[in-house]
Amino acid sequence: MSSNEIEIEETPWATGAPRHSLTVSVLAAAAEHTDCSFSNLALAGRVNLEQLFGGTRYEPDTGADPLAIKRGRLFEEILKRDDYAELLNLLYEQDAVMSAFGADVRIARLRDIPAPAGRSGLEVRAEATRLELGKIARKAWDAPTLIDGAVIRARIGGGIAYFEADGLAAASNGALHIIEAKSFPLIDGRCDPVKLGAACAQAGLYAALVRAQLVEDHLPPETVSDTGFIVLPKNTRLGRAVLLRQNLGFHTRRAERLLSLAHLDEAVVKRIEGRSFPVAGVGATERIDTLSHLMDQAGTHYCPECLEHCAAAKLCRERAYNAGRLAILGDRAAREVSGIETFERVLELTAGADPLDHERESARELVRARRLYRRVLKGAGS
């Protein structure tokens, strides 16, 4: 699934900076960082952070594997053969959610609609997608079972984006279920949990985009079910597929929060007034200095998981380390000392410094841990 067209208003902090096309994978990654103002700022301006950090010591370890892309396309072609016969058979095997399909199957082939190439063609298919979604929401007699080549229109960061889905969803008794096909295998009932999580995140984002479209058309957003399906190859060969039923509720709510960031917090915009992302062609040192200043002004929220999703994570991690922030240990460690942000403050409270009101509970635990540690050391030395 892919998206490749967007029209976005010029933002002063992104003027001249390298930009990228918004894809569902880009948005799914950004959904991991809705609490990071710097990440939101880059998204709103469609700034290509991968390119800005390229050639520096903070260059992210990103990039799609060409073989994986080829494998993914081949798997999707297999699912589409004979009018989606393989996929439909998998759906019919779902005993609860999909039993209402009935014998009649209608595939809305939006790719067959005569339309010009490029943005204009996406606009035509986006309008056709709206009509098909409306039929599903209204439980019309001619509502589609599958929508092939759906395009969802959304406002992201002050601009209009068109997100293209190869096989968007399946409808059952008036409900719409998101389907995401991935080519990593399910072997002995197990698959890569990180890749599965990423697939669910993308499916949740599609669910949020479709719900937003339904709301815009004054149709019930609950038409989109929280139950989605991830389609994977069974074992390493692509000839057979398996359907994993997943609850997308968490991922959808997180994606809805991301979509609500279409207009940045005015306080963030005010803090960065007069600053902007580096333009293309600027030297590596100057780029990093400028990006670091923007992080100071906008604010960041680093956690170890950022290394999997954000191109700015290496610089952000170094900044957190230099500042002695507990965030580098992850959320679990931070929760253990809730209300305390730095290692320096942990040491002060452990030594008996007077805690602030929001530090009292954690300070008591730190002092207790210090006493226990000393008791253990004393016992070991005796």
What average pLDDT does range 141-161 have in this prediction? 81
What average pLDDT does range 251-258 have in this prediction? 86
Classify residue 91: in a domain, yes or no: yes
**Are residue 92 and residue 234 in the same domain, yes or no?**
yes
**Are residue 180 and residue 91 in the same domain, yes or no?**
yes
- The domain of 44 spans 2-62+265-324
**Are residue 181 and residue 117 in the same domain, yes or no?**
yes
Domain final residue pick, 277, 301, 324 = 324
Whether the full predicted model's pTM is greater than 0.85, yes or no, is no
**Are residue 188 and residue 285 in the same domain, yes or no?**
no
Residue 64 reports pLDDT greater than 60: no
Q: How many domains does the chain have?
A: 3
Reported as a single tens digit per residue, the pLDDT across 26-59 is 777 777 777 788 888 888 778 888 889 988 999 8
**Are residue 165 and residue 273 in the same domain, yes or no?**
no
**Are residue 152 and residue 75 in the same domain, yes or no?**
yes
Domain final residue pick, 300, 324, 348 = 324
What average pLDDT does range 140-164 have in this prediction? 81
Reported as a single tens digit per residue, the pLDDT across 273-319 is 778 888 877 888 999 999 999 999 888 888 887 887 788 999 999 99
Residue 308 is predicted with a pLDDT of 77
**Are residue 44 and residue 87 in the same domain, yes or no?**
no
Classify residue 55: in a domain, yes or no: yes
Residue 4 — pLDDT band, cuts 50, 70, 90? very low
Classify residue 95: in a domain, yes or no: yes
**Are residue 148 and residue 175 in the same domain, yes or no?**
yes
Residue 249 is predicted with a pLDDT of 92
Contact criterion met (CB below 8 Å) for 170 and 179: yes
**Are residue 21 and residue 126 in the same domain, yes or no?**
no
Residue 289 is predicted with a pLDDT of 93
